Copies of this chain bind each other. A is one copy, B any other.
Amino acid sequence: MNFQLIHTESKSKARAGKFITDHGVFETPMFMPVGTIGTVKTLSPEELSRHGAQIILSNTYHLYLKPGMDVLREFGGLHNFNNWHGPILTDSGGFQIYSLDQLRTIREEGVEFKSHWDGSTHFFTPEKVVDIQRIIGSDIMMVLDQCIPNPSDFAEAEKAHQLTLNWAERSRKYFLNSQPLYGSAQFQFGIAQGGIYADLRKASIDGLLNLEFDGYAIGGLAVGESAEHRWQITDLCTELLPKNKLRYLMGVGKPEDILAAIELGVDIFDCVIPTRNARNGSVYTASGAINLKNAQFINDKNPIETDCPCFACKNFSKGYLRHMFNVNEIFGLRLATIHNIYFYLALLKRARAAIIQNNFRGFKDKFLAAYSAE
């Protein structure tokens, strides 16, 4: 088994585990920093490791366009290209294509889309997306799915769920009849869709379970639904998913959302929020996010957080960070990114320790009492 469930909390569904890949082990619950085009923006692989990253996420759609498949094949995959030698998960491109909106056409066979770089036309099928991820050499690959905005009406959600399931079947079959290109094992995760409709989510997961994926993702959330719907559906999905497989809630989220999902039994997360917000000057503290561009920090000699051991807080003041944002110095973007990545990964590490001590809810309540959500 690639996933080892170490402990499930007695008072909630929160779980601690670890997932074993040929590029190393990551502990769960875990947050995956997003390295869209191969790089977690501004950071070196060693800065990621040093601040707690155990796995990164990269985007199939983006890597397919740049640097492209020929380059990644030539280099022997993404690990050799970007020099991150830990586990990598790649999404399928489904969400990016969904985001292209007017630039794509979805049909049973696959999805046609136009590159956001140059407008050139491309066609992804479930099979092609497996091939692409074989070339990328990611440790965990996601199937091609159709993501729809929330709320969508039942008929639309049902159609997208059915297409996603058909694609999952083709993906799984194709995956099982193909091999990794670089000698390292690859795992394939299915993605549950079905919008905010419990019946559809149940049908989606039933269908996926028949295909016996290596892990399961909950897709189609954090795309417009209410918080109530989000957690209802997450709760339902984790009830239906098997205990012995990894659970991934795609694209979530803010610190408070991640804690809510952990309590419902989710294991891994990705989101651009901590890195993107950092580049806008917004950094996390135990009492909430602050913006380094704010004039109140002009003479502030304290680090972002006094007791934070990250490279930014160990060496630089809010005053200097504010100055760097004020003069557009990109070293400031790096420091803010480092801090936010560390904040997320330290939060999940503490969450894991709390789970093992059967005190996740106590930990979460204490965190949220001090923390002002955005």
Which of these, B41, B315, B324, B327, contacts A330 with CB under 8 Å? Answer: B41
Q: Are A41 and B331 in contact (CB under 8 A)?
A: yes
Chain A, 79-90, contact with B by CB distance < 8 Å: what is the 0/1 string? 001110000000
In the complex, A43 has a CB within 8 A of chain B? yes
Question: CA–CA, A82 to B319, complex, Å?
Answer: 10
Question: CA–CA, A71 to B83, complex, Å?
Answer: 40
Q: Are A75 and B37 in contact (CB under 8 A)?
A: no
Instruction: Say whether, besides A81-B323, A83-B315, A323-B38, A331 and B44 are in contact (CB < 8 Å).
Output: yes
Which of these, B41, B74, B331, contacts A329 with CB under 8 Å? Answer: B41
Q: Are B44 and A299 in contact (CB under 8 A)?
A: no
Question: CA–CA, A299 to B76, complex, Å?
Answer: 11
Could you tell me how many residues of chain A have their Cβ less than 8 Å away from some Cβ of chain B? 35
Q: Are A319 and B75 in contact (CB under 8 A)?
A: yes
In the complex, A292 has a CB within 8 A of chain B? no
The prevalent SS among residues of A at the interface is helix
Q: Are A316 and B66 in contact (CB under 8 A)?
A: no
In the complex, A301 has a CB within 8 A of chain B? yes
Question: CA–CA, A319 to B74, complex, Å?
Answer: 10
Question: CA–CA, A326 to B117, complex, Å?
Answer: 11
Which of these, B81, B82, B315, B326, contacts A66 with CB under 8 Å? Answer: B326
Q: Are A327 and B71 in contact (CB under 8 A)?
A: no
Nearest B residue to A324 by beta-carbon distance?
B39
Residues of B with C-beta under 8 A to A45: 315
In the complex, A42 has a CB within 8 A of chain B? yes
Chain A, 40-75, contact with B by CB distance < 8 Å: what is the 0/1 string? 011111000000000000000000001100110011
Question: CA–CA, A5 to B334, complex, Å?
Answer: 40
In the complex, A187 has a CB within 8 A of chain B? no
Instruction: Say whether, besides A71-B298, A71-B299, A81 and B330 are in contact (CB < 8 Å).
Output: no
In the complex, A231 has a CB within 8 A of chain B? no
Residues of B with C-beta under 8 A to A233: none
In the complex, A141 has a CB within 8 A of chain B? no
Residues of B with C-beta under 8 A to A70: 299
In the complex, A333 has a CB within 8 A of chain B? yes
Q: Which of A43, A74, A81, A331 has the most CB of B within 10 A?
A: A331
In the complex, A320 has a CB within 8 A of chain B? yes
Chain A, 293-325, contact with B by CB distance < 8 Å: what is the 0/1 string? 000001101000000000100011101100110
Q: Are A320 and B42 in contact (CB under 8 A)?
A: no
Nearest-neighbour CB distance to chain B for A247, whole angstroms, equals 31
68-117 of chain A: CB within 8 A of chain B? 70-71, 74-75, 81-83
- Of all A-B residue pairs in the complex, the 5 with the closest CB atoms, nearest first, are A67-B323, A74-B299, A37-B327, A39-B329, A39-B331
Between-chain CB contacts (< 8 Å), 16 pairs: A38-B320, A38-B329, A44-B315, A44-B331, A45-B315, A66-B327, A67-B319, A70-B299, A71-B299, A71-B319, A75-B319, A81-B319, A81-B320, A83-B315, A83-B316, A330-B333
